[in-house]
Amino acid sequence: MNFFEMVRFAVRGLVANRLRSALTTLGILIGVGSVIILVAVGNGSSKQIQDNIAKLGTNTITVMRGGGGFGARAQSRNTQGKPLTVGDAVQLSDKKSAPNVKQAAPVSNATSVCTNGSSSTTPASFIGTWPSYFEAKNTKVVKGTYFTNDDVTEGRRVAVIGKTTASDLFGEENPIGKVMRCGGIPFTIVGLTETAGSNGFLDGDSLIISPITAVQRALTGYGNISSIVVQAKSAKVQDQAQIEIESILDRSHGISNVNSRDYRLLNQASLLATTTSTTKVFTVLLGAVAAISLLVGGIGITNIMLVTVVERTREIGIRKAIGARRRAILGQFLIEATILSLVGGVLGVIVGFIGSNFMIVGVKPVIVPSSVFLAFGVSVFIGLFFGGYPASRAASLRPIEALRYE
């Protein structure tokens, strides 16, 4: 019996047991497809988080008040040290002493309830700053305009607001040119920022950005500022920029011992590294879930293959009685298992690819090629092994034993 003949027999065997063939194929399909989609979702969400962080601007460094660390000493440093001032931001913007810094912007955080008639909102962040903040933080205005350095100098009460703030105060209306009152003081809205989404803790669109002078005069007073946002010329020179910032601030804050600094630096690159390792854990977790589903799928395939062979032991006996050799029977069952596994596997990959085109719980899945090969390989191997092994056992039974099998 040649190979072609065996393939014909296998196909005939599969067609004769349509329902079972279809169910086996479906089992493999679901196993492979779910692993591909699950891993793609894990990968996609980790990509999404990385993109979000990159959106914050990867070459920005934030200068915050207070030294690093915890405990009494750190706390005393935090309160005793010199606060950050607008003057520090001016110094950091100096092209001569900080050549690798592109721009710096002071940030003054205000807390205020803003109203428009009967509508009111408390923005998650109310920031007084300079126009350079927008570029440093990668915040874009999609409607209206940015405020200008002139607005800062003049202390004009203008504001760029986020989508949530806009809808809280003005609903569906266009907020540009409208006036809102924050702490009783009127601010004219000039721009609307691009949707930032939530970072999990804060709504990035519940946002007001105004000239620092206006915020200080109206709300916070002319004292200390919360932080300074510094943008390095490129991600490459970020380390040099950081050294320049440190030397400028050490000088102006009169610090000789680096351990007693009264400020600290937070850069996006280190934040990215932290979150990358976090999302890696996430991906590993999803991978584990995928591995379990592959295992369960594999057991399903094993089960059906075993049942198939056991159920057909009698048929194997009949075939042997009418002159089938071991090789012919084994060949038929192996080819049947191969066809089922391959068809199921290929369909599973197709379903995985199609499924990955849809948003799943707000995540755009990104397929990991290795998961495709792994899922496909494992299920095909399981199909072949557990289709082939019991078939080989049944094929070596004496015909009378196989015939008596019920």
Task: Tokens 């962040």: give the residue.
Answer: 125
Is 321 an interacting residue with respect to another protein (CB under 8 A)?
yes
Among the listed residues 17, 120, 252, 275, the single contact to another protein using CB under 8 A? 17
- The least distance separating another protein from the CB of residue 319, rounded to whole angstroms, comes to 7
Residue from 105, 73, 31, 35 nearest 302 by CA: 31
- The least distance separating another protein from the CB of residue 314, rounded to whole angstroms, comes to 8
Q: Give yes or no for a contact between 193 and 163, defined as CB atoms under 8 angstroms apart.
A: yes
Length of the chain: 406
Neighbours of 145 (CB within 10 A): 11
Pairing, β 60-65 against β 141-144: unpaired
Please give the torsion angle defined by the CA atoms of residues 15, 21, 26 and 32, in that order, rounded to the nearest 10 degrees. Answer: -110
Is 398 an interacting residue with respect to another protein (CB under 8 A)?
yes
- The least distance separating another protein from the CB of residue 13, rounded to whole angstroms, comes to 9
Among the listed residues 324, 334, 349, 380, the single contact to another protein using CB under 8 A? 324
Is 239 an interacting residue with respect to another protein (CB under 8 A)?
no
Is 399 an interacting residue with respect to another protein (CB under 8 A)?
yes
Dist. CA 142–CA 144, nearest whole Å: 7
| Among the residue ranges 151-159, 211-219, 250-258, 318-326, the one whose residues contact another protein (CB under 8 A) | 318-326
Query: Please, what sign has the CA dihedral across residues 347, 349, 354, 355?
Result: positive
Q: How many residues bind another protein (CB under 8 A)?
A: 26
| Among the residue ranges 172-180, 247-255, 294-302, 395-403, the one whose residues contact another protein (CB under 8 A) | 395-403
Is 315 an interacting residue with respect to another protein (CB under 8 A)?
yes
| Among the residue ranges 111-119, 282-290, 325-333, 362-370, the one whose residues contact another protein (CB under 8 A) | 325-333
Residue from 405, 322, 396 nearest 1 by CA: 322
Q: Give yes or no for a contact between 367 and 44, defined as CB atoms under 8 angstroms apart.
A: no
In the three-class reduction of DSSP (H, G, I as helix; E, B as strand; rest coil), residue 266 is classed as: strand
Bridge partners (DSSP) listed for residue 159: 189
- The least distance separating another protein from the CB of residue 42, rounded to whole angstroms, comes to 43
Is 334 an interacting residue with respect to another protein (CB under 8 A)?
no
Among the listed residues 73, 95, 236, 325, the single contact to another protein using CB under 8 A? 325
Tell me which DSSP letter residue 360 carries.
Answer: B
Is 322 an interacting residue with respect to another protein (CB under 8 A)?
yes
- The least distance separating another protein from the CB of residue 320, rounded to whole angstroms, comes to 6
- What's the start-to-end Cα distance of the chain, in Å? 28
- The least distance separating another protein from the CB of residue 398, rounded to whole angstroms, comes to 6
- The least distance separating another protein from the CB of residue 305, rounded to whole angstroms, comes to 18
Neighbours of 155 (CB within 10 A): 15
Is 2 an interacting residue with respect to another protein (CB under 8 A)?
yes
Six-digit token pair at 17? Answer: 């047991």
Binding site for another protein (CB under 8 A): 1-2, 5, 9, 12, 16-17, 314-315, 317-328, 396, 398-400, 403
